[in-house]
């Protein structure tokens, strides 16, 4: 039996299967991926160099665009760095509001990941559901900070403004709605026989 | 078929009406702005009722949506994808980074004016534009198609030397052919 | 605040100071220790800290360019999951012909960080295997993250500028001209150019 030679495929920057902009050079033998090499730099802007030409207050407006699906952790890191250099303490209410904003942003990015992963695999119902549900969280953000995706809300010293009236009730309503939907996502994605057959045992990384 | 002005006009009207109601967008998220494309194409701000949907390869797409800034590494691939698309083709510049450099106007790796490298038909401004603004931009493109004014592709073919000179100034290792595909 | 003693952090600092010579360290705040060492001792300090003291997780590696003092500073950031303490190891490298030994056999992820620092700052890591081009493509100027790389000059030559941008550069002067007021002295020193 002759062994086939490995073919080189470029999972390139323009591809309907990847979510984002990167290139992976694959070596494929039949249906199995034998080797993979990444090639990055398609989105490089040089943020450290940009910050050299700006004040410490002007550069907090550009920090949120480092990571596009989840912009709030970048703002928090930058604010914490400036506060540590200054030695300033943040009031307690601001800490709680920051935690709330970070958790909402984490939920939104997980929902986007669900949609993107299933869309690449071929199950196109999932992106329609999750991206539509994620819009309810983005509506909450728009009420609080003024922008859907890039907030610029957490700055060195606390947050920019207080919560509006009745905000807690709306957050709880959205969470109740999402909790009911999570059961349906679970049934569609994780208990799906096709997904289990395709994904179990593939690309296993040892915790060691 | 007689080739006089009247029948050409009727053919044009029918052709443009058919083209503007089925715009296929290439699936390529080039920059930050790609985060507002999934909400536009899915169920809340449905863009498919206008005939807009995503397509996989450049040979089958009509519209190239340049979402946001372009690093020089990406510009080389975008030019290659643009030249592989077949006539009639349109380019939409998305976000304020394509208009005048936007927020990254003093970055060493991004290009500032998109119009000098690829011909652009419609600009949508904002950082990021809302999904309603995206649909508004597409309707503007439909209006231009109906009037017969969306001819970025012809401009590219006529002034190919000028565009090539600008592109080669930024991309140093030009290992692509010199002609327009 | 200086009366509170951080027991386990101080213990780690003492162990390091007693084992190596030419090493100085201090406790910065709760859960954070800072240690400075000369560049020849870096491989032995890193292996000691990984095997004996329990700092098994390498979080990040970064570089600072001190243009006025004419050296680079490399910082390794480590984390210990049992003690829950973060350790910063700092060294200084000369600015002419900068080079340091390669340590990516201890932790695999250092290969990526070292390649990025080599491309952005120009520091050579002796014995490292990795492709030259990482993030930038066909770049033949000075390594861009050094402080003496002039971005304004580079942009004027390479890219186009939208006409009408000149007036927008000095916004404060424009507003002062239009409204007829003077800019206070305090604000003048925060201009960008």
A41 CB neighbours in chain B (<8 A) are 71, 73
Q: What is the pLDDT of residue C2?
A: 47
Residue B177 within any structural domain of the chain:
no
Residue C193 within any structural domain of the chain:
no
Name the residue among A12, A19, A127 with its Cβ closest to that of B42: A127
Query: What's the rounded Cα separation, in Å, for the pair B141 and B19?
Result: 11
Residue B50 within any structural domain of the chain:
yes
3-state secondary structure A176-198: HHHHHHHHHHHHHHHCCHHHHHH
Residue B83 within any structural domain of the chain:
yes
Domain membership of residue B109 as a residue range: 20-170
Domain membership of residue C66 as a residue range: 7-188
- Between residues A203 and C38, which one has the greater pLDDT? C38
A205 CB neighbours in chain C (<8 A) are none
Q: What is the pLDDT of residue A208?
A: 60
Name the residue among A44, A48, A55 with its Cβ closest to that of C136: A44
* Nearest CA-CA distance, residue B84 and chain A, Å: 13
pLDDT digits (tens, 9 = 90+) for B7-59: 888 888 898 889 889 899 987 888 888 888 889 988 888 888 998 888 888 89
3-state secondary structure chain A: CCCCCCEEEEECCCCCCCCCCCEEEEEEECCEEEEEEEECCCCCCCHHHHHHCCCCCHHHHCHHHCCCCCCHHHHHHHHHHHHHHHCCCCCHHHHHHHHHHHHHHHHHHHHHHHHHHHHHHCCCHHHHHHHHHHHHHHHHHHHHHCCCCCCCCEECCEECCCCCCCHHHHHHHHHHHHHHHHHHHHHHHHCCHHHHHHHCCCCCCCCC
When scoring C143, C158, C160 by the number of chain B Cβ atoms within 10 A, the one with the most, hence best to mutate, is: C160
Count of C-beta atoms within a 10 Å radius of residue B18: 9
Residue C73 within any structural domain of the chain:
yes
Instruction: State how far the alpha carbon of A38 is from the alpha carbons of A13, A117, B80, in Å.
Output: 11, 19, 21
A48 CB neighbours in chain C (<8 A) are 145
> Which residue(s) pair with B67 in the sheet?
B94
Asked whether B45 and B38 are in contact (CB, 8 A), the reply is no
Q: Indicate the Cα dihedral angle A168, A172, A178, A183, nearest 10°.
A: 150
Judge residue C134's burial from the number of C-beta atoms within 10 Å of its C-beta, 0-12 exposed, 13-18 middle, 19 or more buried. Answer: middle
Longest dimension (CA), chain C: 69
Residue A3, C-beta contacts closer than 8 angstroms, at least 6 positions apart: none
* Nearest CA-CA distance, residue B124 and chain C, Å: 17
What CATH number is attached to the domain comprising C149?
A: 3.30.460.80
pLDDT digits (tens, 9 = 90+) for A39-87: 888 888 888 888 888 888 888 888 888 888 889 999 999 999 999 888 8
C151 CB neighbours in chain A (<8 A) are 49, 53
Contact C154 B108 (CB under 8 A): yes
Q: What is the pLDDT of residue C75?
A: 92
C74 three-class SS: strand
Q: What is the pLDDT of residue C3?
A: 47
Residue C22 pLDDT > 80: yes
* Nearest CA-CA distance, residue A195 and chain B, Å: 22
Q: What is the pLDDT of residue A190?
A: 85
Q: Count how many Cα atoms sit within 13 Å of the Cα of residue C89 in the half-sphere of its side chain.
A: 26
Residue ranges of domains in chain A: 7-39, 47-192
Residue A103 pLDDT > 90: yes
pLDDT digits (tens, 9 = 90+) for B114-170: 888 999 999 998 888 899 999 999 999 999 998 888 888 888 888 888 888 888 888
Contact B113 C162 (CB under 8 A): yes
Name the residue among A14, A116, A132 with its Cβ closest to that of B28: A14
* Nearest CA-CA distance, residue B82 and chain C, Å: 20
C157 CB neighbours in chain B (<8 A) are none
Q: Looking at chain B from residue 95 to 124, which residues have their Cβ under 8 Å from any Cβ of chain C?
A: 99-101, 105-109, 111-113, 116
Q: What is the pLDDT of residue A125?
A: 87
pLDDT digits (tens, 9 = 90+) for C58-100: 999 999 988 888 889 999 999 999 888 899 999 999 888 888 8
| Token pair listed for B97 | 């980074």
CB pairs under 8 A between A and C: 20
Asked whether A67 and A73 are in contact (CB, 8 A), the reply is yes
C190 CB neighbours in chain A (<8 A) are 55
| Token pair listed for B82 | 């643009």
Query: What's the rounded Cα separation, in Å, for the pair C74 and C99?
Result: 11
Residue B7 within any structural domain of the chain:
no
Buried b (16+ CB within 10 A) or exposed e, A83-96: eeeeeeeeeeeeee
Tell me what the mean pLDDT of segment C156-173 comes to.
71
Q: Chain C: residue nearest B114 by CA? A: C160
What CATH number is attached to the domain comprising B72?
A: 3.40.50.12280
Residue B178 pLDDT > 60: yes
Residue C44 pLDDT > 50: yes
* CATH 1.10.8.190 for the A47-192 domain, yes or no: no
Instruction: State how far the alpha carbon of A24 is from the alpha carbons of A10, A68, B97, in Å.
Output: 6, 20, 27
Residue C1 within any structural domain of the chain:
no
Sheet with strand C32-36: strands edge to edge: C24-29, C32-36, C85-94, C71-80, C57-66
Q: What is the pLDDT of residue A78?
A: 92
- Between residues C134 and A1, which one has the greater pLDDT? C134
Residue B178 within any structural domain of the chain:
no
Structural domain total, chain C: 1
Name the residue among B34, B44, B107 with its Cβ closest to that of A50: B107
| Token pair listed for B118 | 């690829």
Upstream peptide bond of A27 is cis (omega within 30 degrees of 0): no
User: Distance between terminal CA atoms of chain C?
Assistant: 41
B63 CB neighbours in chain A (<8 A) are none
Contact B128 A135 (CB under 8 A): no
Structural domain total, chain B: 1
Q: What is the DSSP string of B14-67?
A: HHHHHHHT-PEEE----SGGGGGHHHHHSSTT--GGGT-EEESSGGG-SEEEEE
pLDDT digits (tens, 9 = 90+) for B84-100: 888 888 999 988 888 88
């Amino acid at each position: 039996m002759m062994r086939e030679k490995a073919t080189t495929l470029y999972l390139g920057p323009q591809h309907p299967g990847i979510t984002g902009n990167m290139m992976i050079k694959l070596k494929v033998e039949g249906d199995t991926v034998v080797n993979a090499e990444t090639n990055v730099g398609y989105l490089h802007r040089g943020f450290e160099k940009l910050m050299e030409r700006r004040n410490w207050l002007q550069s907090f407006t550009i920090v949120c665009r480092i990571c596009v699906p989840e912009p709030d952790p970048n703002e928090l890191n930058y604010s914490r760095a400036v506060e540590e250099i200054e030695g300033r303490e943040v009031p307690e209410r601001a800490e709680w509001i920051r935690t709330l904003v970070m958790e909402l942003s984490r939920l939104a990015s997980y929902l986007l990941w669900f949609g993107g992963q299933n869309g690449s695999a071929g199950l196109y119902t999932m992106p329609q559901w999750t991206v539509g549900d994620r819009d309810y969280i983005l509506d909450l953000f728009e009420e609080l900070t003024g922008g859907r995706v890039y907030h610029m809300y957490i700055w060195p010293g606390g947050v920019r403004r207080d919560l509006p009236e009745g905000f807690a009730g709306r957050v709880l309503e959205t969470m109740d709605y999402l909790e009911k939907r999570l059961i349906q996502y679970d049934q569609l994605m994780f208990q799906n026989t096709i997904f289990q057959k395709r994904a179990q045992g593939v690309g296993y990384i040892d915790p060691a | 078929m007689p080739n006089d002005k009247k029948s050409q006009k009727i053919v044009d009207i029918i052709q443009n009406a058919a083209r503007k109601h089925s715009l296929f967008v290439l699936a390529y998220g080039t920059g930050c702005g790609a985060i507002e494309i999934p909400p536009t194409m899915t169920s809340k701000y449905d863009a498919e009722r206008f005939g807009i949907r995503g397509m996989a390869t450049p040979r089958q797409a009509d519209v190239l949506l340049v979402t946001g800034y372009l690093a020089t590494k990406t510009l080389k691939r975008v030019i290659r994808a643009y030249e592989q698309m077949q006539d009639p083709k349109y380019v939409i510049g998305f976000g304020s980074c394509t208009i005048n450099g936007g927020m990254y106007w003093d970055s060493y790796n991004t290009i500032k004016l998109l119009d000098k490298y690829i011909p652009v038909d419609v600009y949508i401004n904002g950082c990021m534009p809302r999904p309603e603004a995206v649909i508004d931009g597409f309707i503007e493109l439909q209006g231009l198609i109906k009037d017969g004014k969306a001819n970025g592709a012809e401009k590219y073919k006529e002034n190919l030397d000028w565009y090539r000179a600008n592109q080669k100034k930024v991309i140093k290792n030009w290992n692509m052919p010199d002609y327009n595909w | 605040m200086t009366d509170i003693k951080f027991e386990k952090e101080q213990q780690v600092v003492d162990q390091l100071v007693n084992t190596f010579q030419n090493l100085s360290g201090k406790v910065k705040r709760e859960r954070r220790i800072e240690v400075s060492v000369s560049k020849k001792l870096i491989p032995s300090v890193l292996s000691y800290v990984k095997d004996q003291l329990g700092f098994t997780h390498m979080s990040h590696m970064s570089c600072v360019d001190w243009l006025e003092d004419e050296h680079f500073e490399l910082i390794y950031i480590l984390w210990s999951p049992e003690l829950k303490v973060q350790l910063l190891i700092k060294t200084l490298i000369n600015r002419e012909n900068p080079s340091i030994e390669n340590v990516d056999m201890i932790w695999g992820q250092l290969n990526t960080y070292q390649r990025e620092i080599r491309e952005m700052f120009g520091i050579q890591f002796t014995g490292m295997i990795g492709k030259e081009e990482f993030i930038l493509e066909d770049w033949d100027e000075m390594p861009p993250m050094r402080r003496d790389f002039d971005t304004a000059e580079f942009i004027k030559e390479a890219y186009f500028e939208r006409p009408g941008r000149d007036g927008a550069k000095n916004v404060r002067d424009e507003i002062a001209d239009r409204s007829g007021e003077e800019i206070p002295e305090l604000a003048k020193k925060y201009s960008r150019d």
